[in-house]
């Protein structure tokens, strides 16, 4: 006779694994669907033929491999990255409203990108075309990390409590936002338009080159973060108790913040600022799979990938061939969902 | 000497919270820390739990400096039960108790972990509540779960911060009976911060009376609970008698001058 | 004790599977294009005909070779689209992008697909149309265009068709590409004749007789009440921005003494009120696209704009405001591709007696009807002198 506790535990593990598997399958199906949609319709049999290397039409195969597929993978990876970062931030800051951008990384990255777009012409000459994307990305990454570094530095002076972290994040965020406004003010129409579009985020022109950087980075960060799952679980019980359970709170916080900043700023660097995924995906995941980070983290990643892939496909298809920036779609469903969360108040998240 | 506090002083800014505390604690005893608000009780307990960092050679466990213990080692030796549940994302009772196994786990929850957790939950009558969420429970039940979590660490020392303050009488007694059993049967050193003086007297082997960061008196309950001590530290007149189960204290306010 | 290890095994397998899938997908992608680029496939079946080739350098300095004849193009630059229509090659345009249809509606490309604006150009659509060349500005979109289109065998040619120093050369290049060199030369001769006419007429104006003109952004003045000036000269004495340099070409003097830095992204320099009040220009030219255009027939918005500017800004205190020597020009007319006509019009406003026999409207009419082949309409410039 199995003791009830064992049955309960293994039963819950089984159902959680089932959820993860289902989400994964859903993601695969959604990817196939998304790849078949676009200005050029690709029917399923043709799609499968292309993916297995037996293409009939070279042009369609080219479109699938060079235009659509990188885009799909990009949105999946970005979704994974943002959701993972969001879940970790919510654990570290012990605040359900935290998202990957809470500590100012998005403002910093936006400022870096704005700087590159608006002032880059004076450094590289009027022809921004050749150096464009990589310079913007590099600058966004550097300034994103700088912003979080500043926040963490300030917090350390004051004993690194989560409240100080949050407040410093707000302050530094405001500082860089002001910088962006300043740049907007001094720029001309064209540069401004580029900046506005960049800020809205998107996967246009996704390249495999970028993915060769992004993929390993995100996957490695994810694996490292998973190792901290039990530490993160312990943090839920409060920092004091976590310490007595053997968690090195300072180290966990430091490492996790570093990895989250890395993931968030690299993502922003290439795809602009896409909001709500990092906030919403962990929340939905928590509702369906619980708070155990061993499962919550993979679930958030899958959920983030699904949501973002869905949003990007909608962004492409709704007004085809015109594309809506994906950030608008995520805000459109993210905001009402957020309000719903506040109202529903399930299981007293807000204490 | 199982656990020792030697000459512990803690400063917060310019204020001295604790001044040269000395404590010698034995295996298997139940020790209460009592005293008025602001006396430094929680600071003392947290220092003993290594939540507040202390200087070298101040706190000793089994003749080793507490600082020489690795975080995991210490977690297997010492369990801490806070006064309240922290606000956070709700866990089930089982999940909370399993957290106590963290020092022993890499990633997986082993059968042994489940055995230990299961046994503890049975003992505290928490088994039926295994899948309920913490915020669905009453205060008393929640407190028991926190204790179960600490017990899941299989500690040799158990530190509890006012475990009975928020409980009704029945749960208070249950908890105190439990810790007494632990001390007697498993030789666990139990240190509690207590508000209720009678209960402290009834269940403790020894009592430490704290006033303004210093130990005013320590020893067996009847040694510490004297009218003179009570008046001096708490500022009330206390009549001390013998009830059927222990000391009976009746307190009145002193006449105003 | 199978259960003990089951979870960790599943966890690891799961992660490994995810990693594998992603690596496979990226691996496939790396393999695919090199194995068979669509362009190569095409040439395999090419008929052994004599294919001419044209080698040239585009305005971005890239060396390009295209096979003639060119009969399928996509244009992401509305100025280039206009130039192509001018040359009579519009039937080769498969689709346009970057606000061509919106801003140059008279070109008649609204029946063709619109592939979107700069940052959201629909690459799939372009590729599916199988053009030989895609035309784009030199500064947008970025290199992603070349990266995505060239492996599909599509050439990207970058030109602007509105910058004065490049316009003529670019038109000639387009002539060569579409085998319309004769038409190109004809047009350029006509254009140069107008430019010469203007230059000759203003040659004789003495320094002290030259009017002091300030070229401003119409939108900024109207919306913010502030002054953004188009400088007439750049650093080291070169000609400045089109809208500002028009002053000089039309025989006027720049009321401002600013110099434009070509490396700056913005074409205007913002100054405060005091500066403008001190310079006190005799004439103000306003430039923008928010008023006027091809489809505008009503002059009311102009009158309202003037009233608004006079009542809310300090223009009323300037010489130009008091004499109402304020002239509005639609951007393309003075700063951009049609500036040779616009400058003539400005000169006529400045020195009416010198240009009594010239009617720039006629040239505008000729441009639209004879050269573009569309009816002439719209309001491209407006004089506030006669507004009440």
Whether residues C235 and C268 fall in one domain? yes
Shared domain check, C157 and C225: no
Interface test with A, best of C13, C35, C142 (most A CBs within 10 A): C142
> Could you write out the DSSP letters of every residue in C18-67?
HHHHHHHHHHHHHHHHHH--HHHHHHHT--S----EEEEE-TT--EEEEE
For A188, which of C33, C140, C266 is closest by C-beta distance? Answer: C266
Do the domain assignments include residue C27?
no
Residue A9 lies in a domain: no
Residue C177 lies in a domain: yes
Of C185, C214, C247, the residue at which a domain comes to its end is C185
Domain count, chain B: 1
**In a domain? residue C269:** yes
Instruction: Note the pLDDT of residue A345.
Output: 57
Query: By three-state DSSP, how is residue B78 classified?
Result: strand
Mean per-residue pLDDT over chain C, rounded: 82
Q: What is the bridge-based pairing of β-strands C253-254 and C233-234? A: unpaired
Phi/psi for A348 (5° steps) reads 50, 55
- Are the CB atoms for B211 and B205 separated by under 8 Å? no
Contact A103, A169 (CB under 8 A): yes
Statement to judge: residues C177 and C286 lie in one domain: no
- Give phi and psi for B78, each to the nearest 5: -130, 125
Q: How many CA atoms lie within 13 A of C269 on its CB side?
A: 21
Q: How far apart are CA B36 and CA B204, in angstroms?
A: 18
Residues of B with CB under 8 A from a CB of C: 107-111
Query: CB-based contact (8 Å) between A243 and chain B?
Result: yes
In a domain, C4, yes or no: no
Strands B189-193 and B157-161: parallel
pTM of the model: 0.81
Q: Please enumerate in sequence order all residues whose Cβ is within 8 A of that of B5, keeping only pairs 6 or more positions apart, or say none.
A: B21, B22, B23, B24, B44, B47, B48, B58, B59, B60
Residues of B in Cβ contact (< 8 Å) with A246: 71-72, 74-76, 102-103
Average pLDDT, chain A: 84
With beta carbons under 8 A apart, name residues in chain A contacting B100: 245
Nearest CA in chain C to B111: C4
Helix axes A277-289, A4-36, angle to 10 degrees: 140
> How far is C21 from A324, CA to CA, in rounded Å?
29
- Chain C CB contacts of B107 under 8 Å are 7-8, 11
Number of domains in chain C: 2
Q: What is the pLDDT of residue C24?
A: 53
Residue A129: pLDDT band with limits 50, 70, 90: very low
Question: How many structural domains is chain A composed of?
Answer: 1
pLDDT tens sequence for chain C (388 residues): 333 344 444 455 555 555 556 555 544 444 443 334 444 334 444 444 556 888 999 988 889 999 889 999 999 998 999 999 999 999 999 999 888 888 888 888 888 888 887 767 888 889 989 999 999 988 777 788 888 899 888 999 999 888 878 889 999 999 999 999 999 999 999 999 999 999 998 888 888 889 999 999 888 888 888 899 999 888 887 888 888 888 989 989 999 888 887 766 677 888 888 899 999 999 999 998 888 888 888 888 888 888 888 888 888 889 998 898 999 998 888 877 888 899 999 999 999 998 889 999 899 999 999 998 899 998 889 998 877 6
Q: What is the rounded average pLDDT of the residues A67-95?
A: 91
Whether A121 and C151 lie within 8 Å, measured CB to CB? no
Instruction: Report the neighbours of C using a cutoff of 3 or more CB pairs below 8 angstroms.
Output: A, B
d(CA C154, CA C137): 16
* Domain CATH for A115: 1.10.3470.10
Q: Which two tokens stand for residue B141?
A: 């039940």
Sequential DSSP letters for C155-193: EEEE--S-SHHHHHHHHHHHHHHTT-HHHHHHHHHHHHH
* Residue C75 shares a structural domain with residue C113: yes
Contact A242, A287 (CB under 8 A): no
Reported ipTM = 0.89
C116 touches chain A (CB under 8 A): yes
> C72 with C142, same domain?
yes
**Domain containing residue C103:** 53-185
Burial class of C291 by CB neighbour count within 10 A (0 to 12, 13 to 18, 19+): buried
Look at residue B257 and tell me if it is in a domain: no
Residues C248 and C246: their CA atoms lie apart, in Å, by 5
CA distance C237 to A330: 50
3-class SS of residue C315? helix
3-state helix, strand, coil in chain A (%, to 5): 80, 0, 20
Nearest partner of A291 among A247, A346, A219, judged by Cα: A346
Can you tell me the mean pLDDT for A192-218? 80
Could you give the CA distance from residue B219 to residue B196 in angstroms, rounded to a whole number? 17
Task: Please list, in sequence order, all residues whose beta carbon lies within 8 angstroms of the beta carbon of residue A136, skipping any fewer than 6 positions away.
Answer: A112, A113, A116, A117, A120, A198, A269
* Other chains touching B, judged by 3 or more CB pairs under 8 Å: A, C
Q: Residue ranges of chain B with pLDDT lower than 70? A: 1, 87, 256-257
Structural domain for A67, as ranges:
16-348
Q: Is A59 on the interface with B (CB under 8 A)?
A: no
Domain interval for residue B16: 3-252
CATH number at residue C298: 3.40.50.1980
Tell me how far apart the alpha carbons of residues C107 and C59 are, in angstroms, rounded to a whole number.
Answer: 23
- Tens-digit pLDDT profile for residues B6-16: 999 988 888 88
Which of the two residues, A193 and C296, has the higher pLDDT score? Answer: C296
CA distance A327 to A101: 14
Q: Which of C123, C154, C185 is the last residue of a domain?
A: C185
B185 part of a folded domain: yes
Q: What is the pLDDT of residues C129-175, one digit of tens each?
A: 999 999 998 877 778 888 889 988 899 999 988 887 888 999 999 99
Nearest to A39 among C7, C19, C122 (CB): C122
Helix axes A189-200, A326-344, angle to 10 degrees: 50
Q: Note whether residue A2 is domain-resident.
A: no
- Per-residue pLDDT, B72: 92
Joined tokens for residue A241? 């108790």
Q: Which two tokens stand for residue A205?
A: 């022109």
* Chain B residues closer than 8 Å to A300 by CB: none
DSSP per position, A275-286: -SHHHHHHHHHH
How many Cα neighbours within 13 Å face the side chain of C252?
A: 31
- Quick one: C233 and C371 in the same domain? yes
pLDDT band at A248 (very low <50, low <70, confident <90, very high): very high
The DSSP code for A188 is -
B108 and chain A in contact, CB less than 8 A: no
Give a yes or no: residue A272 inside a domain: yes
CATH number of domain containing B227: 3.40.50.300
Alpha-carbon distance of A203 to A39, in angstroms, equals: 16
Q: Is the dihedral of CA C357, C362, C364, C370 positive or negative?
A: negative
Tokens 């020009």 sit on residue? C329
pLDDT of A87 over the 90 cut: yes
Q: Tell which of B49, B53, B102, B145 to mutate to test the A interface (max A CBs under 10 Å).
A: B102
């Amino acid at each position: 006779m199995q003791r009830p506790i064992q049955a309960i535990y293994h039963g819950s593990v089984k159902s959680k694994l089932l959820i993860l598997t289902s989400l994964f399958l859903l993601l695969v199906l959604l990817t196939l669907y998304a790849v078949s949609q676009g200005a050029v319709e690709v029917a399923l049999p043709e799609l499968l033929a292309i993916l297995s290397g037996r293409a009939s039409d070279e042009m369609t195969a080219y479109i699938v491999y060079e235009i659509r597929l990188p885009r799909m993978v990009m949105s999946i990876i970005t979704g994974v990255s943002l959701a993972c970062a969001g879940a970790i931030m919510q654990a570290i800051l012990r605040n359900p409203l935290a998202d990957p951008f809470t500590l100012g990384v998005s403002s910093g990255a936006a400022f870096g990108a704005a700087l590159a777009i608006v002032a880059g012409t004076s450094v590289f000459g009027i022809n921004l075309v050749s150096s464009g994307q990589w310079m913007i990305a590099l600058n966004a990454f550097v300034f994103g990390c700088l912003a979080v570094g500043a926040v963490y530095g300030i917090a350390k002076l004051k004993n690194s409590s989560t409240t100080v972290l949050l407040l410093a994040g707000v302050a530094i965020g405001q500082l860089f936002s002001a910088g962006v406004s300043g740049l907007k003010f001094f720029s001309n129409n064209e540069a401004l338009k580029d900046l506005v579009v960049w800020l809205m985020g998107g996967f246009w022109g996704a390249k495999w080159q970028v993915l060769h950087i992004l993929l390993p980075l995100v996957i490695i960060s994810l694996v490292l973060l998973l190792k901290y799952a039990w530490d993160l679980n312990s943090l839920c019980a409060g920092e004091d108790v976590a310490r007595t359970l053997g968690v090195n709170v300072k180290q966990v916080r430091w490492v996790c913040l570093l990895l989250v900043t890395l993931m968030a700023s690299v993502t922003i660097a290439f795809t602009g600022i896409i909001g709500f995924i990092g906030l919403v995906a962990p929340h939905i995941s928590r509702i369906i799979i619980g708070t155990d980070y061993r499962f919550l983290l993979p679930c958030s990643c899958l959920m983030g990938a699904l949501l973002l892939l869905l949003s990007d496909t909608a962004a492409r298809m709704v007004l085809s061939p015109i594309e809506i920036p994906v950030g608008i779609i995520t805000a459109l469903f993210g905001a009402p969902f957020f309000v719903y969360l506040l109202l529903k108040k399930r299981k007293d998240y807000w204490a | 000497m199982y656990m020792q506090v030697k000459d512990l002083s803690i400063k917060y800014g310019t204020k001295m919270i604790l001044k040269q505390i000395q404590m010698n604690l034995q295996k298997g005893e139940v020790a209460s820390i009592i005293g008025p608000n602001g006396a430094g009780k929680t600071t003392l307990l947290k220092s003993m739990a290594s939540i507040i960092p202390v200087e070298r050679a101040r706190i000793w466990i089994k003749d080793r400096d507490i600082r020489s213990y690795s975080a995991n080692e210490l977690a297997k030796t010492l369990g801490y039960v806070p006064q309240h549940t922290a606000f956070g994302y709700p866990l089930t009772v089982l999940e909370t108790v399993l957290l106590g196994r963290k020092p022993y786990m890499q990633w997986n929850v082993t059968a042994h972990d489940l055995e230990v957790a299961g046994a503890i939950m049975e003992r505290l009558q928490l088994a039926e509540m295994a899948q309920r969420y913490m915020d669905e429970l009453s205060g008393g039940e929640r407190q028991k779960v926190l204790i179960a979590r600490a017990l899941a660490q299989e500690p040799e020392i158990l530190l509890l911060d006012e475990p009975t303050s928020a409980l009704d009488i029945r749960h208070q007694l249950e908890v105190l009976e439990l810790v007494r059993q632990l001390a007697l049967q498993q030789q666990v050193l139990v240190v509690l911060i207590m508000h209720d003086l009678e209960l402290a007297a009834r269940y403790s082997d020894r009592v430490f009376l704290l006033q303004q960061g210093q130990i005013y008196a320590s020893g067996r309950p009847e040694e510490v609970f004297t009218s003179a001590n009570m008046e001096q530290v708490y500022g009330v007149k206390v009549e001390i008698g013998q009830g059927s189960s222990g000391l009976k204290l009746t307190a009145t306010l002193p006449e105003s001058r | 004790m199978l259960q003990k290890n089951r979870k960790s095994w599943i966890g690891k397998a799961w992660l490994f599977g995810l990693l594998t899938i992603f690596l496979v997908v990226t691996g496939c992608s790396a393999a695919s294009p090199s194995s068979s680029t669509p362009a190569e496939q095409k040439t395999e079946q090419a008929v052994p005909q004599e294919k001419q080739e044209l080698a040239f350098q585009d305005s971005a300095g890239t060396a390009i070779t295209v096979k003639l004849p060119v009969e399928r193009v996509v244009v992401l630059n509305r100025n280039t689209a206009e130039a192509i229509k001018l040359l009579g090659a519009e039937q080769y345009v498969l689709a346009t992008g970057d606000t061509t249809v919106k801003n140059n509606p008279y070109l008649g490309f609204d029946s063709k697909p619109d592939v979107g604006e700069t940052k959201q150009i629909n690459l799939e659509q372009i590729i599916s149309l199988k053009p030989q060349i895609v035309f784009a500005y030199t500064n947008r979109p970025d290199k992603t265009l070349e990266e995505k289109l060239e492996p599909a065998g599509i050439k990207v040619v970058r030109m602007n068709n509105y910058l004065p120093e490049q316009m003529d050369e670019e038109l000639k290049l387009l002539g060569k590409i579409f085998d319309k060199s004769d038409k190109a030369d004809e047009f350029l001769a006509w254009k140069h004749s107008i430019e010469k006419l203007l230059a000759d007429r203003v040659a004789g104006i003495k320094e002290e007789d030259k009017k002091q003109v300030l070229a401003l952004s119409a939108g900024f003045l109207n919306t913010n009440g502030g002054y953004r000036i188009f400088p007439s000269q750049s650093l080291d004495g070169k000609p400045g921005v089109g809208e500002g340099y028009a002053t000089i070409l039309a025989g006027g003097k720049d009321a401002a003494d600013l110099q434009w830095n070509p490396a700056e992204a913005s074409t205007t320099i913002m100054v405060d009120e005091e500066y403008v009040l001190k310079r006190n220009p005799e004439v103000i030219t306003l430039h923008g696209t928010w008023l006027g255009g091809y489809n505008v027939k009503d002059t009311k918005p102009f009158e309202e704009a003037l009233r608004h500017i006079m009542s809310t800004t300090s223009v009323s205190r300037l010489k130009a405001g008091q004499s109402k020597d304020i002239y509005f020009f639609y951007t393309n007319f003075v700063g951009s591709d049609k500036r040779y006509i616009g400058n003539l019009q400005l000169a006529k406003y400045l020195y009416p007696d010198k240009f009594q026999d010239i009617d720039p409207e006629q040239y505008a009419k000729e441009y639209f009807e004879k050269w573009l082949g569309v009816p002439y309409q719209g309001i491209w410039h407006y004089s506030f002198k006669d507004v009440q």
